[in-house]
Structures are given as structure tokens and as C-alpha cells.
A and B are shown apart, each in its own frame.
Chain A
């Protein structure tokens, strides 16, 4: 029986080659797209899911309230971890992770090899008991129990030792805190068990100068530098535990926080949610993006639905050619159930062919997809069991969605009609086809509207005035004391090159996390009513070369040596926060109190607000101090980019002449700032790509339908032509009904897209306003695409010879 079905399915497939190809192509592209997206989503959802006791793992986050404003961070104070284990019975185990402040990179050395590694963290000895890692050398138990022990990833092990065993080897790790020798006591597999913590090197926290300063730092109010992870007892109630935090904070830090002028509270965040959902600052690794996961998931479903709709449309349209077969089969004894089964099997056959094609397509575009998504997704159908399961699920989903209606529709034909020699009617089918076409266009037009808005916002982000000039700036991080003390020499030597216009130094540059901050107040103001601001320690050249725009007063001046100790420059927003106005602020003093000592500096200048962070965040208060004693963290050079590679080469030579210990590293400021929008850009390009796909598939279907309509109306068109209808008249005759469908789709799609895009834009503190114009443009594009597709068929039909068409009755 089945062989009989397959035979007739294959013969039909061959008989209607073009139609079938259209049908299968649309379905294949749809399936390929969903396979890729599903793989992407699976890798995103896998993060942190491997930890043993995942349900009981939490991170203690902190919410600070300064001047009525709350900020949340992933970090907390040092004693929290051990206090919780001791005082709260719910807590089974705790562990801390520290990214030492001010250290952006560590220099790793083994024999002749050396490189910088920023993903280097100091952790408690319990770290590998709380977090699960896949050890390839040694085991988690006892891996970093002692000071000067270190666990590295297989990536680092390979970099240092090639294929050789790493265990027991001794490496040097250094930063501005000094250099020490460490024994490797464990290696874990880099790929495989993704975590929200991006570390490659984990050092026992009791090691070296950092260990002496930070390991048992007994400070409750400030120095919230540690990521504290808790493993709770299985029966513990996390919200019950959370409710004990306020008393603890009050007892340990209440007094001190009041003198410092801020308050804070702690709360738990489940480890399983961190990667996709956490919104707090100071994470230790790139964040996933729940909305990207959601949006892509929806798009995958959309593309698949569009492809299925195509299939249904083309299949029901094609069905008119099979009324006779259905009727005959019924007469010779087929029941309706058996017939719908037959057509279902046909759809499964088609889906299966499409599935194979879709894998070919998916493999072909995989590199490109990985490039867009910024991931290394694999498609290993033979070893990846869940992928296989997903594939089978997709097969059934498409077969059922795409096949059910056509098979019910086909099997409903009454044999009487063909016995009387009249063809099937298909009024209902036409109506349903219309609904399906509208659905496709709602999705496509909604997606077009979405990408237009995303592209506009990304363009806005690129072109927004940031309050400084990020172009043609080379940033060289000065990570170690050896390089930092060479700042002045490097500066002088670099300036000798005519292509290097200015060189400046600063403790921080826009785009870097700035942990240097303080609480300030003005003359005669209440010290407890203070203003939070980030501090930039700079040399005078930095201010001019970055192009900060001076609104009032002056910059630091090399001639006035007093500026180094008694002056400050602040931003406009800081002026407002202090309750001053631009006219009266110059000459006022800025006060701060730390540990009972009050200091002051005179405000000599005001600059425009600038975006030290991405446009996702609101600009904060910023103040500048002239730094002479402190070595800058960054050297910034303003350069002519004409022969940039050459110039970088020269900079490297200069560097190597002076800094013997460290390798040369640099980046372009504008590139780095753009990287804050990487997720947004990736999402933009992914949505863009899949939107194009969705539209393409919709067009395939529409093209097929229009071809079909034109075919079935050949005779009518022929007669109309004989009666004198013009080509344009016939094209519009065939296009008219689609015009209406597309307009209806625009009306439905617009509010949906409006709603979702407003949500997306709210991720940015600075964003474009939605304009009706965008929506009109998108609708118009959709309309145009539809009309071109349909019009093409209309033209073809109108161009065919009328006499032949009439004869072909």
C-alpha cells in the first residue's frame, strides 16, 4: 500500500517538476533556518546547566542606593561568603571569585612563552566544589587548596605547553601587584561545559600580594569586589534566607554606610538564570540575551510557519489537478481516512526530501551563520542525539502543519463531481489560501518593520555625539608597573613620529569599567546629601586629544602646577547634580570626606557630558583630576590613520625598546566602543538575514500561487485579450486581490511590530523615537515585493498567445 502511495507521490513529483521544486525549496529553506536557530538557541540555553546541584546554586548580588538612585552589581563584600556559611544554616557551602581591581590583564609566562590573559581570576579553594568543571588533568577535589596553586583551561594549557601535560608545571603570573610562580594543579576542558564565568585561569586567592590584601579583607561596607556564590541545602528556602540579609547588613555595615552616605542590600540570583537574565553590572563574562533568544526562537517558528503555509497553499492549489484521482480512488473503495493518510504520507515524503535538502543548505551556510551569530555552532547530526531528535520533531511539525489541511481538503472531494465530468470547486480552499497568504505577509512585513527600526537605532548609536571624539585613537593599556612607569618615555618617543599628533594618559578610557569613584558635595552642603561621580585621573593632554568640549572655565594648564593638587574639571551633569548652574560653578569648591578627613578641590572647568558607557546606560557624573603621581592605566594616541599598519608597527618597536617585560597590545577606541553593541548588531544582522529568508519564502509561495491562478485563468485571459483587454489591464486583474491582502497584512502587522520594537528600544537609555514613516516604508516595501512577484506572473499570462489559450480548453 505504502509503496503504491510513494510511487504515485514520486510520479506526481516528477510530473510537476517546477511546482514541486518551488514547494520543496521553500520548505527546505524554512527547515534549514529553523535548524540553525535551534542549534544557536540550544548553545545559549546550555550555559551553566551542567553544574551539579544547579537548583541550589545562587550568587549574592548587591543593590546600592546612592542619592536616591539604585544600581545593582554582581559583586559583594569579602566577609559575606564565610559569614553566611557560619551563621545561616541554609547555606551549605560558599565560594568567592575576585577580579583584582585595576588589573585588566595578567602576564602569563612559561619559559620563552608569554602572553596577556585578562580572564584570570582569584578564587577560594572551594571554587571547584561549588562550580562544576570537566577536568582533563587531575580532579576538582583539592585542585587549588593551597596558595600559589592554579587551575587552567585546556586552551591555556595548549597555548603554553602544546600537547604536553600541564600538571605540576610551574608558570609565572604577573600584574602591577607583582610577579609570582604558580604550580598547575589542574586542567579543565575549555569547550563543552559553558559557564557565565569566562575564566581561563583560576588562582588560589591566598596567593601573593593580591592574596595578602584581599583574601581576608574584613570590610563590610565598601570594597564590594567579590562574586559570592552559595550552595544551599536542598530543602533550604532561598527567600527565607534573603529575608535575613537586611539585619546582617545593618549589624555589620549600617553605621559605616551612613557615614559614607550610601545604603545597600543583598539579594540572591539563581546561577541558572545569570547568563541569559542577569541585569546587574560587573559580570565576569559576556552576557547572553534573553530577548535575543526569544526573538530568534519566534523567528525560527515564523520562518517555519511561513514555509509550511507555502506548502499548504501550493498543495491545495495543486490539488485541483488531483480531483479525478481522489474521486476514482473513492469509487474503487478508498475511504476518506485512507485517502487523507495517503496525502499525509506524500507530505511526509516531501518533508523528508526537504529535510535532506535543508541539511545541505544548513551545512553550506553554517560558517556564515556562525559569523553572524558570533558563535561556533556545530551541526553533527550523527553524534548530536538531541539535534537528531529536534530534526525528527521538525519533520513531524512540518508534516503535520503542512500536510493536515491539504490532506483533509483533498480527501473531501466528492466522486460525484468527477463522474458528472465537472472539476472540483475549491471555494473554501481559496478563502483559506487567502488567510494563509495574509498570515505570511503579516509576518514578513512585521519583520521588515523590525529590521528597519533596528538598523535605524544601530545607525543612531554609531553616529551619536558621545561628548568626545573616538576616531583615530589608538589605546595602549599599561597593565604592569614596568610599563606604567615608562609612560613619559613612551609618550616622548611616540610624539617624535609626525603621524602621531597627541599622546595622553588616563586611569580609564570610555568603554572600560571604571571602579574609581567617590561621593562629593558642594560648599556649605550637607555631606550626607552627596553626589556620586566617577573619577578620571588624567594628564592635561588627554583632555584636549579626546576632544572633550569645554563649556566653561579652562582645562588643566602645564603652567599652573597647583592644578595637580587643587583643581578639578567636572561634567555638565555633575554641575546640575551639585545644584549649581553653568554661570556660577567656576571657582566653587568640590568636597569629599573619606575616613573622617575632608578634602576639597576647586572647579576650574566644565565639559559636556560624555558617554563613558554604552548608550544602553544613562550618562553618569564624571570628574577629572590631574594625575602626576599615579601612573596612568592607558596611553591614548591620536594618530593619522593613513598608513595605520605601518604606524602600529613603529609603535610596537618603540614599545619594545622601553618595555622589555611585556608584549605590546593596543586597540582602536572606536572599535572597542562599538563592541558594546555587538549583541545588538548580531541580533540586527541575524534578524535581517532571517527576514530576507522569510520574505523570499513568502515570495516563492506567492509566485507559485500566482502562477497557478494565471494557469487556471488562461482561458479567461485569452478571451479577454481577444475582446481587447490590454496587458496592464490583465496584470492588474491578476494582482488586484493580492493588493488587498497585503494592505490588510500591513494593518495587522504594524501594531504588533510597534509593540515589540518599543520593548526592544527600551534596552537603550538613548534611543530613536518610533516614527510612523518607518512603518509606512516597511509596508510599502512589502507591497512592492508582493506586486512584483504577482505582476511577473500576470505579465507572463498576459503575454501568452490568446488563441492557443482558448483552444487549450
Chain B
């Protein structure tokens, strides 16, 4: 599904280039549950964002289902991002002014999905996550774990091919974190491809493969 070859990303501050990623070469198959690990500042989020097409590499090639992402125009890239990617964040990033229901609905609106279809999809998810009673609450009325459940629901409601999660349990207690990880696991068993970033060995254990990055290189790449 994903083929990265010699991907590099740097930031320029003044005249100096500071390299975050150098020579990233990586293949990810459909159905994998990949975990990215590494010390803080290693470039994990940067890599995830490049894969999620929110950011672009300075060098290297990125093929996504044989589409050369690095050559695509902004508009086309946006289309790919919109149709294949779902994102989950450490800080949930729900829209504060929208209710649970509306937050989950937002991606569907941008995909021009009919109202009945939207209702049924959201109802299914709310049901599955035991959030039916909470659907008219605003984010600040929920616990962190519940907010992250909404975050996941929002990420998967549009049926993406790939779920990208940047430290999804970073802000949660262990018990809440477990709920989230169990959920990701079951999504994976249902066929979803997942790439997560985490600092926790335990969470990494939910996946099928771990890569560790440091100084811009992949230090380790091991299947579980």
C-alpha cells in the first residue's frame, strides 16, 4: 500500500538545514498494524504526517497504491488524503463548538454523503462505542477517554483505508488507554490498516510490526 524510498525532510533555520528525516525507506502492506517508536524529537510525527499527506518530504519518492504522491498536484493529493486517511491525535482535537454527533458527522459532510447514510453510519458507531446517550454533548462535557472515542469514531466514519494515530493514548489513564487500544485492535482485525506512534512498549504490543527511528534513520524494523 505504501512505498517510501529515500524520503528526507529538513527544516531550514537561517542558512542551516536541520535534518529530521534522512533516507527513510519503508514498505507498508495493506492490513498491517505498524507501530513507530523512537525518542522524542526523532521525527515520528513528521513521518506520520508525510504518510498522511499533511506534510511533504523534501526528497525521495512516496508511492501510495502506485500513485506517486511526491509528484501529485496539491488538489489531487488532497483528494487522496480525503478518501484514504483517518487521523487520531494525542490531544483528540475535537471541534469545541460541535456536539459529539456533529463532530463525527463533519468528515461525511466534506464527502457529500447523503443525510440518511450519515445518520445510519454515525448511529452504528455511537452504538458500537456505547456513546448513544452522549451524542448531543459537547467535547468539554466528556472525559478524555470518551473524547478519544469520538476522535476514533470521527477518523473511521468515512471508511478510510489507513488509520494514522499519533500517540492516541498519550493523554489518558492506563485503563482508558486500554479501551482505546482494544478498539484499535478490533478495527485491525476487521481489516483496517493502522499506523500508530507511541512511546509505550505495551501499546506497541497491539500491533503487527514495530519500526524504531533515530537521527532520521530507521534503526530497527521487526515484525511481531
Q: Does A324 contact B (CB under 8 A)?
A: yes
User: Number of A residues whose C-beta is below 8 Å from B?
Assistant: 24
Assess the B97–A332 pair: CB atoms within 8 A.
Answer: no
Q: Does B33 contact A (CB under 8 A)?
A: no
Most buried by A among B81, B94, B97: B97
Q: Nearest CB to that of A10 among chain B residues?
A: B97
Assess the A419–B89 pair: CB atoms within 8 A.
Answer: yes
Assess the B107–A4 pair: CB atoms within 8 A.
Answer: no
**In the complex, which residues of chain A have a beta carbon less than 8 angstroms from the beta carbon of B62?**
none
Min CB distance A334 to B, Å, is 5
Q: Does A12 contact B (CB under 8 A)?
A: yes
Q: Does A803 contact B (CB under 8 A)?
A: no
Q: Nearest CB to that of A9 among chain B residues?
A: B97
* A324→B94 CA distance, assembly (Å): 9
Q: Does B45 contact A (CB under 8 A)?
A: yes
Most buried by B among A15, A324, A331: A331
Q: Does A338 contact B (CB under 8 A)?
A: yes
Assess the B109–A419 pair: CB atoms within 8 A.
Answer: no
Q: Does B218 contact A (CB under 8 A)?
A: no
**In the complex, which residues of chain A have a beta carbon less than 8 angstroms from the beta carbon of B107?**
332-333
Q: Does B32 contact A (CB under 8 A)?
A: no
Partner pick for A416 among B54, B95, B106, CB 8 A cutoff: B54
* A338→B97 CA distance, assembly (Å): 18
Q: Does A8 contact B (CB under 8 A)?
A: yes
Q: Does B154 contact A (CB under 8 A)?
A: yes
Min CB distance A3 to B, Å, is 10
Q: Does A418 contact B (CB under 8 A)?
A: yes
* A416→B106 CA distance, assembly (Å): 19
- Contact digits for B74-114, partner A, Cβ 8 Å, 1 yes 0 no: 01001001100001010101111110001001110111000
Q: Does B196 contact A (CB under 8 A)?
A: no
**In the complex, which residues of chain A have a beta carbon less than 8 angstroms from the beta carbon of B82?**
333, 335
Q: Does A421 contact B (CB under 8 A)?
A: yes
Min CB distance B12 to A, Å, is 15
Partner pick for A332 among B49, B87, B166, CB 8 A cutoff: B87
* A12→B95 CA distance, assembly (Å): 11
Assess the B95–A333 pair: CB atoms within 8 A.
Answer: no
* A739→B105 CA distance, assembly (Å): 48
**In the complex, which residues of chain B have a beta carbon less than 8 angstroms from the beta carbon of A338?**
110
Assess the A8–B105 pair: CB atoms within 8 A.
Answer: no
Q: Nearest CB to that of A334 among chain B residues?
A: B110
* A338→B55 CA distance, assembly (Å): 20
**In the complex, which residues of chain A have a beta carbon less than 8 angstroms from the beta carbon of B55?**
416
Q: Does B35 contact A (CB under 8 A)?
A: no
Assess the B166–A335 pair: CB atoms within 8 A.
Answer: no
Q: Does B193 contact A (CB under 8 A)?
A: no
CB-CB contacts below 8 Å: A388-438 with B: 415-416, 418-421
Q: Does A7 contact B (CB under 8 A)?
A: yes
* A43→B93 CA distance, assembly (Å): 55
Q: Nearest CB to that of A332 among chain B residues?
A: B107
Min CB distance A578 to B, Å, is 86
Assess the B54–A331 pair: CB atoms within 8 A.
Answer: yes
* A7→B155 CA distance, assembly (Å): 22
**In the complex, which residues of chain B have a beta carbon less than 8 angstroms from the beta carbon of A328?**
93-95
Assess the B93–A418 pair: CB atoms within 8 A.
Answer: yes
Min CB distance B70 to A, Å, is 17
Q: Does A493 contact B (CB under 8 A)?
A: no
Assess the A12–B97 pair: CB atoms within 8 A.
Answer: yes
CB-CB contacts below 8 Å: B158-215 with A: 158, 166
Known: A12-B97, A329-B106, A332-B87. Is A420-B45 also a contact (CB below 8 A)?
A: yes
CB-CB contacts below 8 Å: A1-21 with B: 1, 4, 7-8, 11-12, 15
Q: Does A325 contact B (CB under 8 A)?
A: yes
**In the complex, which residues of chain B have a beta carbon less than 8 angstroms from the beta carbon of A418?**
93
Question: Between A and B, how many residue pairs show CB distances below 8 Å?
Answer: 61
CB-CB contacts below 8 Å: A727-761 with B: none
* A7→B98 CA distance, assembly (Å): 8
Most buried by A among B96, B105, B166: B96
- Contact digits for A40-82, partner B, Cβ 8 Å, 1 yes 0 no: 0000000000000000000000000000000000000000000
Q: Nearest CB to that of A4 among chain B residues?
A: B109
* A419→B82 CA distance, assembly (Å): 17
* A335→B75 CA distance, assembly (Å): 8
**In the complex, which residues of chain B have a beta carbon less than 8 angstroms from the beta carbon of A4?**
102, 105-106, 109
Known: A4-B106, A331-B54, A419-B45. Is A324-B98 also a contact (CB below 8 A)?
A: no
Assess the B95–A325 pair: CB atoms within 8 A.
Answer: yes
Assess the A332–B45 pair: CB atoms within 8 A.
Answer: no
Assess the B98–A8 pair: CB atoms within 8 A.
Answer: yes
* A39→B106 CA distance, assembly (Å): 44
Assess the A333–B97 pair: CB atoms within 8 A.
Answer: no
- Contact digits for B39-75, partner A, Cβ 8 Å, 1 yes 0 no: 0000001000100001100000000000000000001
- Contact digits for A129-143, partner B, Cβ 8 Å, 1 yes 0 no: 000000000000000
**In the complex, which residues of chain B have a beta carbon less than 8 angstroms from the beta carbon of A420?**
45
Known: A4-B109, A8-B97, A419-B45. Is A333-B81 also a contact (CB below 8 A)?
A: yes
* A33→B104 CA distance, assembly (Å): 44
Assess the B110–A333 pair: CB atoms within 8 A.
Answer: yes
* A4→B109 CA distance, assembly (Å): 9
**In the complex, which residues of chain B have a beta carbon less than 8 angstroms from the beta carbon of A416?**
49, 54-55
**In the complex, which residues of chain A have a beta carbon less than 8 angstroms from the beta carbon of B155?**
332
* A332→B81 CA distance, assembly (Å): 9
* A331→B55 CA distance, assembly (Å): 11
Min CB distance A320 to B, Å, is 15
Min CB distance B160 to A, Å, is 10
* A56→B109 CA distance, assembly (Å): 60
* A457→B151 CA distance, assembly (Å): 69
Min CB distance A342 to B, Å, is 10
Q: Nearest CB to that of B91 among chain A residues?
A: A421
Q: Nearest CB to that of A338 among chain B residues?
A: B110
Q: Nearest CB to that of A14 among chain B residues?
A: B97
CB-CB contacts below 8 Å: A296-332 with B: 324-325, 327-329, 331-332
Min CB distance B118 to A, Å, is 11
Q: Nearest CB to that of A329 among chain B residues?
A: B106
**In the complex, which residues of chain A have a beta carbon less than 8 angstroms from the beta carbon of B154?**
332
**In the complex, which residues of chain B have a beta carbon less than 8 angstroms from the beta carbon of A419?**
45, 49, 54, 89, 166
**In the complex, which residues of chain B have a beta carbon less than 8 angstroms from the beta carbon of A8?**
95, 97-98
Known: A324-B93, A332-B87, A333-B81. Is A415-B105 also a contact (CB below 8 A)?
A: no
Most buried by B among A1, A328, A329, A332: A332
Q: Nearest CB to that of A331 among chain B residues?
A: B87
* A333→B81 CA distance, assembly (Å): 7
**In the complex, which residues of chain B have a beta carbon less than 8 angstroms from the beta carbon of A325?**
95-97
Min CB distance A20 to B, Å, is 13
Assess the B45–A329 pair: CB atoms within 8 A.
Answer: no
* A338→B106 CA distance, assembly (Å): 12
Most buried by B among A15, A325, A327, A421: A325
Assess the B110–A7 pair: CB atoms within 8 A.
Answer: no
Assess the B45–A11 pair: CB atoms within 8 A.
Answer: no
Known: A332-B110, A333-B158. Is A15-B97 also a contact (CB below 8 A)?
A: yes
* A738→B91 CA distance, assembly (Å): 38
* A416→B96 CA distance, assembly (Å): 19
* A420→B45 CA distance, assembly (Å): 8
* A416→B45 CA distance, assembly (Å): 10
Assess the B102–A332 pair: CB atoms within 8 A.
Answer: no
Enumerate 6 A-B pairs (CB-CB under 8 Å) in ascending A order: A4-B106, A11-B98, A331-B93, A332-B107, A416-B54, A419-B166
Q: Which 4 A-B pairs have the closest CB atoms?
A: A333-B82, A333-B110, A332-B107, A11-B97
Q: Which residues of B pack against A, CB within 8 Å?
A: 45, 49, 54-55, 75, 78, 81-82, 87, 89, 91, 93-98, 102, 105-107, 109-111, 154-155, 158, 166
Given A328-B94, A329-B106, A332-B155; 17 other pairs, CB 8 A cutoff: A4-B102, A4-B106, A8-B95, A324-B95, A327-B93, A328-B95, A331-B54, A331-B93, A332-B87, A332-B107, A332-B158, A333-B158, A335-B110, A415-B54, A416-B49, A418-B93, A421-B91
Q: Which residues of A pack against B, CB within 8 Å?
A: 1, 4, 7-8, 11-12, 15, 324-325, 327-329, 331-335, 338, 415-416, 418-421
